[in-house]
Amino acid sequence: MDTSKYFYRNVIFSKTKNQVSLIDIYNPENKKQVLEPWFGIVLQLADGQHTIDELFSLLSEKYKENPPANLKKTIHSVIERLVKSNLIMLTGKATELPYYLSRSYEHLDIEKAKKLIKEDKINLS
How confident is the chain (125 residues) per 10-residue block, as mean pLDDT?
95 93 91 92 96 93 79 93 97 97 96 95 76
Could you tell me the pTM of the whole model? 0.90
CA-CA-CA-CA dihedral for 7, 9, 14, 18, to nearest 10: -20
How many structural domains does the chain have?
A: 1
Domain, as residue range, for 65:
6-120
pLDDT for the residue 125: 58
Residue 125 maps to a domain: no
Residue 1 maps to a domain: no
Round to whole Å and give the CA distance between 114 and 116: 5
Residue 63 maps to a domain: yes
pLDDT for the residue 82: 97
> Collapsing DSSP states into helix, strand and coil, what is residue 21?
strand
| Dihedral sign for Cα atoms in the order 102, 108, 110, 111 | negative
Residue 12 maps to a domain: yes
pLDDT for the residue 20: 96
pLDDT for the residue 67: 74
pLDDT for the residue 91: 97
DSSP one-letter code for 11: S
